[in-house]
Chain A
Amino acid sequence: MKVAFPHMGNAYIPLRALVETLGAEAVVPERPNRVTLENGSRYAPEFVCLPFKITLGDCINALEKGADTLAMVCGMWACRFGYYARVQHLILRDLGYEFDSLLVGREDPRVIWEMFRPVVGRGAGAARKVAGALAMLRVKAGAVEELECLARKVRPRERAAGSTDALMDSYLGKLDEASSLCRVRELRKEMREALQSLPLREENGLIRVRIVGELYVLLEPSLNFDLVKRLGGYFGVEAQPVLSTYRWLLSPLWLDPLLHLSSSRARRLTRSYLPYALGGEEHMTITGTLDAFKDGYDGVIHAYPLTCMPENICRTILPHISSRMDLPLLNLCFDEHTSTVGTITRLEAFLDMLRSRRELANRATGAGKATGGREAF
């Protein structure tokens, strides 16, 4: 059994651990690149959202690499995401590929269990294997999350350009290879120390931006032109996305109750803007923007794929929040024709504006100290 799953940021590390601990083989497609996107958009419907095209390209890549089972989350929500697997697998079968569908979410858990039974085995050993696999998933997801969080903090402050990314890449590789819980914990400690001991620049009022928007665009660096890294390394700006792989992987499995508390808080806060759920991440987008103001961020970047339904609706609401709170907002819409240069130019203009706002605010208060959005209000 060779299980493959599409890429989403660094989700492949915990997912590979989950599949391999269960005893199956994991096929990880190449990182999404031009070819992936071209393959995906060739066979995908014309105006479907971009994540569909990229994950379709990933599936083709994985099948070429010999995968025989394609895993995908699916469900019946108002957002299109729930139907990705249904349509993608139709397209792939029409292209002549043969594979089993592992549809997590819609299918009866027993069906999934039956698929894994040959590799997992029976009895107490099987139970131990499943528990071990879930523990691996959680620990690796936690480690990746911590690494990403630390890197986001350190990167804009690093003295030698690229030192954070070099460290991060090496630790991601090590985490992917780690095969025991103890080893992951060791690595986690090691990388924490390594990142914290990087030589840093003197901090003088770093610009901080919040990134809100659609999950896949936020988390997949090949789609958003490495937004977080670019903002941190190239522009020297601290960028914090509201969503994370960790959150996405663990909240449906109930492995971290804190995630549920923050989700239900987000739903509660969003209710005055959008009383009904739309099936996407609209609650995190709205709450992320509201919180960005409270947490003193300088601006908000709203990133979403072309024709994304929930985020388009948020887009009509965000300017209202932004002007009421005097919080600058940049909308970035991604599709297969979006260019790196165009995106960078827009980011540059936005960040220039944030910097001059900061300067004006400083001049007005007469203090050389950094001020956030809150003082400006």
Chain B
Amino acid sequence: MRIGLPRALMFYRYYPFLKAFLEECGCEVYPSPPTNLNILGMGTDVCVEDICVAVKVLFGHVCHLEGKVDAVLIPRLVSVEKRGYDTFTCPKLIAAPDMIRYTFPHLPALLEFTVDVAKAPWWWGCIRLGRRLDVPLRRMARAYPAALREQSRYKGLLRKGILPAEALDRMENGDAHALPSYLSPGDITVAVVGHPYLLGDSLINKRLVHWLDICGARVLGSSMLGDEVIEAEASRLSPLSWSYERELLAAASHFLNRCDVDGVIYLTSFGCGPDSLVTEMVRRELRPSGNNVLMELVLDEHSAESGMRTRVEAFVDMLRYQQGKPSCAGRAS
């Protein structure tokens, strides 16, 4: 059975896990290609207008997969951690399979991978998925640890500072070649805080990391922070029930307090519900000041690469000017 995985939203968090699990269970996994203009266009056409661009991209990827696979797998992440209070992910992640089901009535089959850690552990979602695929329990028991191993290998790559899209690529094609150039030390260090699906999708973020790299900046991504850093930081801040945004708030706070980071870019997509308030919390609760510079970049399907490049160059120039370093004007090709 050929199972399609749309390269959007939670793909950038859990693809290695799902791929290993499904392959061990004897399925063929077919991920959709990296987002291109065609996919974005299809998504924008079928999706509700005022939803965030990441969800539109998900719809585009499902359009792309329609007819190419026997089933499409959409993760449904309700809660991903257990705390004293209720935790959620974004409502759009909670209802992603429902939105897809009612928008694509002719989809061959829609598989759900439900994670609701507040009610049932992770493996329960795997068992439900395996049942749906008629996989015997023994086989699932073998697949689950293998999937966890893959996931921790992926996390290890992310911890090194490799950004999600590249880390996924290394998972597939081997980890032998040298570290990407944006990790090599530059005179300026910029931290990019944002959801993995924005950091990882270079069509949505208009090659933000590439432009930073060209300007000669070292780039740190919020995806590189380990759970213990996030936990330590988040426990100092007031609680937030959106788990992923809690992570981003903690990451922003961490980078804003680090003296080896010159500037922080907070990446959000237009219409992102939680982020509309979390950016305000970053600005008003963390109060970036002094040598901590914060820039918010709002992305949507109309963003253009040249616009992104201009803003990145101006930002890096401003950081250099602040520290009395030469600007990147001559350097950029």
Using a CB–CB cutoff of 8 Å, the interface residues on chain A facing chain B are 45-49, 76-80, 82-83, 86-87, 90-91, 94, 273-276, 278-280, 306-310, 312-313, 315-317, 319-320, 333
CB distance from B84 to the nearest CB of A (A): 11
CB distance from A250 to the nearest CB of B (A): 23
Contact: B50 with A87, CB < 8 Å?
no
Contact: A316 with B99, CB < 8 Å?
yes
Given A76-B241, A307-B273, A333-B50: A313 and B280 interface contact (C-beta under 8 Å)? no
Q: How many residues of chain B get a CB closer than 8 Å to chain A's CBs?
A: 40
Contact: A316 with B276, CB < 8 Å?
no
The complex places the Cα of A310 from the Cα of B274 at a distance, in Å, of: 12
Write 9 A-B pairs (CB below 8 A) sorted by A numbering.
Answer: A76-B85, A87-B281, A90-B281, A276-B78, A278-B91, A279-B91, A306-B50, A307-B273, A316-B99
CB distance from A89 to the nearest CB of B (A): 10
Scan residues 255-284 of chain B and give those whose CB is less than 8 A from a CB of chain A. Answer: 270-274, 276-277, 279-281, 284
Contact: B239 with A278, CB < 8 Å?
no
B280 CB contact (under 8 Å) in A49, A87, A278, A309 = A87
Does chain A have a CB within 8 A of B285? yes
Taking A80-B277, A90-B281, A333-B50 as known contacts, 16 extra A-B pairs with beta carbons closer than 8 A to each other, sorted by chain A number, are: A47-B276, A78-B89, A78-B94, A78-B242, A80-B274, A87-B277, A87-B280, A87-B284, A274-B98, A276-B95, A278-B94, A307-B276, A312-B51, A312-B92, A313-B98, A315-B48
A278 CB contact (under 8 Å) in B95, B241, B274, B298 = B95
Does chain A have a CB within 8 A of B90? yes
Does chain A have a CB within 8 A of B86? yes
Q: Which residues of B contact A276 (CB under 8 A)?
A: 76, 78, 94-95, 116
Q: Which residues of A contact B116 (CB under 8 A)?
A: 276
The complex places the Cα of A3 from the Cα of B6 at a distance, in Å, of: 51
Does chain A have a CB within 8 A of B88? yes
**Nearest 10 pairs between A and B by C-beta?**
A76-B241, A78-B88, A309-B273, A278-B91, A48-B276, A309-B91, A316-B99, A320-B102, A90-B284, A307-B271
The complex places the Cα of A315 from the Cα of B270 at a distance, in Å, of: 18
Contact: A91 with B284, CB < 8 Å?
yes
Contact: A313 with B99, CB < 8 Å?
yes
The complex places the Cα of A27 from the Cα of B85 at a distance, in Å, of: 33
B98 CB contact (under 8 Å) in A90, A308, A317 = A317
Given A90-B284, A312-B48: A80 and B276 interface contact (C-beta under 8 Å)? yes
Q: Mark B8-28, 1 if CB is under 8 A from A, else 0.
A: 000000000000000000000
Does chain A have a CB within 8 A of B103? yes
Does chain A have a CB within 8 A of B306? no
Contact: B276 with A76, CB < 8 Å?
no
* Shortest Cβ distance from A278 into B: residue: B91
Given A78-B90, A313-B92: A45 and B98 interface contact (C-beta under 8 Å)? no
Q: Which residues of A contact B242 (CB under 8 A)?
A: 78
* Shortest Cβ distance from A78 into B: residue: B88
Q: Which residues of B contact A306 (CB under 8 A)?
A: 50, 271
CB distance from B3 to the nearest CB of A (A): 21
Q: Which residues of B contact A90 (CB under 8 A)?
A: 280-281, 284-285
Does chain A have a CB within 8 A of B333? no
Looking at A45, A77, A80, A279, the one whose CB has the most chain B CB atoms below 10 A away is A45
* Shortest Cβ distance from B103 into A: residue: A316
Contact: A45 with B86, CB < 8 Å?
no
Does chain A have a CB within 8 A of B173? no
The complex places the Cα of A274 from the Cα of B100 at a distance, in Å, of: 12
Given A78-B242, A276-B94: A47 and B88 interface contact (C-beta under 8 Å)? no
The complex places the Cα of A216 from the Cα of B285 at a distance, in Å, of: 27
Scan residues 33-90 of chain B and give those whose CB is less than 8 A from a CB of chain A. Answer: 47-51, 76, 78, 85-86, 88-90
Contact: A80 with B273, CB < 8 Å?
yes
The complex places the Cα of A310 from the Cα of B86 at a distance, in Å, of: 18
Q: Which residues of B contact A48 (CB under 8 A)?
A: 276-277, 280
* Shortest Cβ distance from B276 into A: residue: A48
